[in-house]
Structure 1
Amino acid sequence: MTHSKRETERKYEAPSADDTSWLAALFGVEGIASVVERGTDELDAVYYDTDDLRLVGASATLRRRTGGPDAGWHLKLPVSGDSREEVRAPLSEVIPDSLRDLAVSRVREAELRPVVRIRSTRSTRHLVDSAGMVLAELSLDEVHAESLRGGTARASWTETEIELAEDVDSSLLDRVDKVLRGSGIERAGHPSKLARALKETGAGVPPLPHTGRENVVPGSAADEVLRYVDQQVRTLVDIDPAVRRDLPDAVHQMRVTCRRLRSTLRSYRPVLDREVTDPVREELKWLGGELGAARDQEVLVERLGSRIGALPRELILGRVDPRLREWNAARTVEARRRTLDALHSSRYLELLNSLTALTEKPPLARKADHSPEKVVVKAILKEYKRLAGRVAHALELSPGPERDAALHQARKASKKTRYATEPARGVLGKPAKRLGKRVKGVQKVLGDHQDSVVARSALRDLALDAHAGHEPSFTWGLLYGQEQAEGDRCERELPAAWARTSKPRLRKALAA
């Protein structure tokens, strides 16, 4: 059983555990009325990582800690800025499977071993406002670290942490920071106790990112494309724990990231060798497909629920809400199972390894060292040409299933075109951003149309199930008609949306 909390904190160098005169400066911070002592704890933590320190290299830590009010296993994951998420599990002798799973995207198949032991004498104080509410917790730590990777190296230092209480505005940290710096208290030069302990005990330091990129020319097309690929791979790795915990929107974010990577590796084949990237694209397609069932069901149920909620009560005949819940529950369980099976598979680990290899030792193609401007313009216009062909073909067809399928293909082409503009924004600036925004408008119309097609199919099934159960199917038919009207509206809007995207000046701006 795990639970988590968001912690927002900053670390500072402290003169010594005996010198606390600088604490008086905190009374000069707006909002802080008093500093309340809360006692001292003896903390003993063993930190775990891989032999090549993959966790700390990804700004994450895993520890087993005894002593203090929160003894147990703690996995800390980066969020943004001064914030991290700490996932906790009860104290046990071995690493809990729940936390091991949440670390998989960062460590992959590597074994987690003890690397450093850190013992701290922690004195705690609460920073309190005039109403007695705790704004933040200040911890003054006397730290003693020793390597567990052989040898007898040890290190000691004193540091302080200031962690915001829940729901307190982060601007308090800025006010505290200004006052402490004015008192000569400087920010710590390390992101975590573990990072400092590894360095000062000689237990090792994580390798610098992209040490195998000596063949990438700075400022080249490959440099620009790889910058974007790096970002997407990091997003995939970072969102993995949230997907495993079934947090809101996590599956959607991972699926979109898979699409972005697939599209980029396709659009920029002249930069990255397709003999290496095409197999990776296929595996990303597989992962996106396994995630798709969960995401599609989520979107569909939200859509149908909203439609039902908007109907007058006199038009809701039969077990409409209960039937929708039952229908959704069965499909959600199956979709969730598919997602977790995929993330626990060796195939997924192999994909993560392939993506890591792709970013660390990129397989460069013939145009990798070319000037990025021409390369990205050509890639974007190539995707745009495919999109134009898909849209033209769809608009030539009569309404019906064949046109629905063609519009769906156009939707996928619009995504690929938009994704092709994203790595180019640093090179082309506003023209790439503007084209991406207008293509997104086309994508939205096509997406709304496809959602109506999928909803109609589901509503037909629900109507048949209701009929088989001797229930009224009127409401399901009514909703079907609404979705048909929505699809017709999207088809009428598409020509105008496409005209805004296909104006000649966009092509000229990109080609300039």
Structure 2
Amino acid sequence: MAETKREIERKYESDESGLPDLTGVAGVETVLDKGVMELDATYYDTADERLAASSITLRRRTGGSDAGWHLKFPVAQGVRDEIQAPLSDTLPDEFAGLLRSRVRNAELLPVVRLSSARDVRELLDTEGRLLAEISEDAVQAERLLGGDGSAQWTEIEVELADGGDPAFLDKVEKRLRKAGVRPSKSASKLARALAETAPKRPDPGPLEDPVTAADHVLAYVRAQRDAIVETDPAVRQDAEDSVHSMRVATRRMRSTFKSYGKVLDRAVTDPIGDELKWLAGELGVDRDREVLNERLRTALDEVPHTLVSGPIAERLSRWAGDKPGGASARLIGVLDSHRYLALLDAVDALLADPPLSKAAGKQPGKVLTKAVRKDFGKVTALIEQALDLEPGTDRDIAIHEARKKTKRTRYAAEAAHPALGKPAKELVKSMKALQNLLGEHQDSVMARQTLRELSAVAHAAGESAFTYGVLYGREERRAELVEAALPKEWETIEQAMGV
């Protein structure tokens, strides 16, 4: 079974003079010599090094106390989440799943072998607790794929103990700098090995800034593609907010295709949009019920106990399908499906060879502004329609449609922001506020629908339906407050937009 831990470490250049004396580091009582261990690691990647491009490392290592398979995902500079699995001859199935959004149908091959002699010291406090581990590694690198180069170097690595204070690493670094040790230019051993053993290739030069309307739209689409791919492993591990993040990225991309149909050919983007809608729907199956369950449970907690009649909490649990943590088998099946991987391939193909329309090559100012204004106009019409309707089902539907168009306008403005600057930024802010207000109304509509259904089931089972009515009344009041606040909120937005 794979285990995950947060790895916080820093790397430094070494002149092979050995580890500096660290007894003077604040908080360190003992420096314990753990001796030298021999490590042998083979790193895997696709032939085009997709994992390395995302700063992901996959290795099979022997030697040391943690021999086995190691998979590392970047979190921040010097911080990675490391997943470990026991030593085996083949890649663990869990690792294959976590890498699927990047690897897809490509083969994982050995790319680099690193052999290291690691001289280890443990830094302990006055009570003998481990603060950090510092090692000097004499590394030999051998390219296994895409060349036959080799390299060798010596580096110092400082890894914070599990649960330790990252500020302690600053104290260690201060002592190392006094000893003449400087931070490494490479983020990892693998990155250095790939750089120093790769065949010489032409320098592609810096990336060009967006110029045309299409440049800006494609940059936004690319960012959403990256968000989907990068969030995939987190969804599989049931990380907090990961499903929501992936779902938002799919919606942003699909919305962008619709808003900028004058830039990217809808004949190509619409089928991809349909698949994005499918993916968002699959992601929402568990997510929507989870959010609604949290809302109803919170509301129930706020009801005085004298007004709670019947097994409400138990019935909510059964309705929500409460289960232990972990992504559902259904959702992992979606992420493993051919349909999902084909969607990712289709987006990659679109970005590699964009289906540009007539306006694509024009200056972004007019093209993007026109698209954003068109979306804002649709929001205006729907808000005015909703405000003209009497409270009830028709108004609920109009407000829900206005919410969807508000999100679309927000995403269109996000894509246009780098080109249009402050006006687009202000529109994003206004649309986000409006989206939150309208979202509260829609959540109330869905909560009331669910309460009606649960009440009917409870009544049929001979249980009291009184508390469902209390909750329903409170949700109805929340919707009324939104509807009362909407005219003023919309007036504020129109004034800000100069309408």
Provide the TM-score with structure 1 as the length reference.
0.90
1:381 to 347, 352, 373: 373
Q: 1:227 to 1:139 in 2, by over 3 A?
A: farther
- Stretch deviating more after TM superposition (174-183 or 426-435): 174-183
**Which residue in the other structure is 1:70 paired with?**
66
**Which residue in the other structure is 1:104 paired with?**
100
Q: Separation in 2 of the partners of 1:10 and 1:232?
A: 31
Per-residue CA deviation, residues 394-417 of structure 1 (Å, 9 max, x unaligned), is: 222222112211111110011111
Shift of 1:277: 2.2
User: SS where residue 368 of structure 1 aligns?
Assistant: helix
Shift of 1:246: 1.3
Q: 1:57 to 1:334 in 2, by over 3 A?
A: closer
- Stretch deviating more after TM superposition (246-255 or 433-442): 433-442
Q: 1:150 to 1:58 in 2, by over 3 A?
A: closer
**Which residue in the other structure is 2:240 paired with?**
248
Per-residue CA deviation, residues 84-117 of structure 1 (Å, 9 max, x unaligned), is: 1111222221111111000011112211122222
1:482 to 466, 474, 485: 474
Contact 2:440 2:479 in 1 (8 A): yes
Identity within the alignment, %: 49
Contact 1:116 1:198 in 2 (8 A): yes
Contact 1:33 1:130 in 2 (8 A): yes
- Stretch deviating more after TM superposition (111-120 or 51-60): 111-120
Q: Separation in 1 of the partners of 2:178 and 2:222?
A: 38
- Stretch deviating more after TM superposition (196-205 or 69-78): 196-205
Q: Separation in 2 of the partners of 1:227 and 1:471?
A: 56
Q: 1:452 to 1:378 in 2, by over 3 A?
A: same
Q: 1:157 to 1:335 in 2, by over 3 A?
A: closer
2:286 to 286, 289, 294: 294
Q: 1:256 to 1:208 in 2, by over 3 A?
A: farther
Partner amino acid, structure 1, of 2:180: G
Q: Separation in 2 of the partners of 1:369 and 1:36?
A: 64
User: SS where residue 106 of structure 2 aligns?
Assistant: coil
Shift of 1:70: 1.4
2:176 to 162, 176, 180: 180
User: SS where residue 423 of structure 1 aligns?
Assistant: helix
Q: Separation in 1 of the partners of 2:204 and 2:303?
A: 55
User: SS where residue 65 of structure 1 aligns?
Assistant: strand
Q: Separation in 1 of the partners of 2:462 and 2:203?
A: 66
Shift of 1:268: 2.3
- Stretch deviating more after TM superposition (274-283 or 48-57): 274-283
Contact 1:210 1:361 in 2 (8 A): no
Count the aligned residue pairs. Answer: 499
**Which residue in the other structure is 1:11 paired with?**
11
Contact 2:237 2:326 in 1 (8 A): no
**Which residue in the other structure is 2:497 paired with?**
506
2:419 to 410, 427, 448: 427
Q: 1:150 to 1:452 in 2, by over 3 A?
A: closer
Matches within 5 A, 1:328-347: 328-329=320-321, 336-347=328-339
2:431 to 433, 439, 442: 439
Q: Separation in 1 of the partners of 2:314 and 2:209?
A: 60
Q: 1:487 to 1:210 in 2, by over 3 A?
A: farther
Q: 1:143 to 1:335 in 2, by over 3 A?
A: closer
Partner amino acid, structure 2, of 1:122: R
Q: 1:265 to 1:246 in 2, by over 3 A?
A: same
Partner amino acid, structure 1, of 2:391: P
Matches within 5 A, 1:76-475: 76-130=72-126, 132-149=128-145, 153-202=149-198, 218-329=210-321, 336-475=328-467
Q: Separation in 2 of the partners of 1:454 and 1:243?
A: 25
Q: Separation in 2 of the partners of 1:219 and 1:172?
A: 45
Q: 1:403 to 1:280 in 2, by over 3 A?
A: same
Partner amino acid, structure 2, of 1:316: V
Q: Separation in 1 of the partners of 2:210 and 2:479?
A: 48
User: SS where residue 439 of structure 1 aligns?
Assistant: helix
Q: 1:208 to 1:55 in 2, by over 3 A?
A: farther
Give unmatched runs, 5+ long, in structure 2. none
CA RMSD in angstroms, aligned pairs only: 2.7
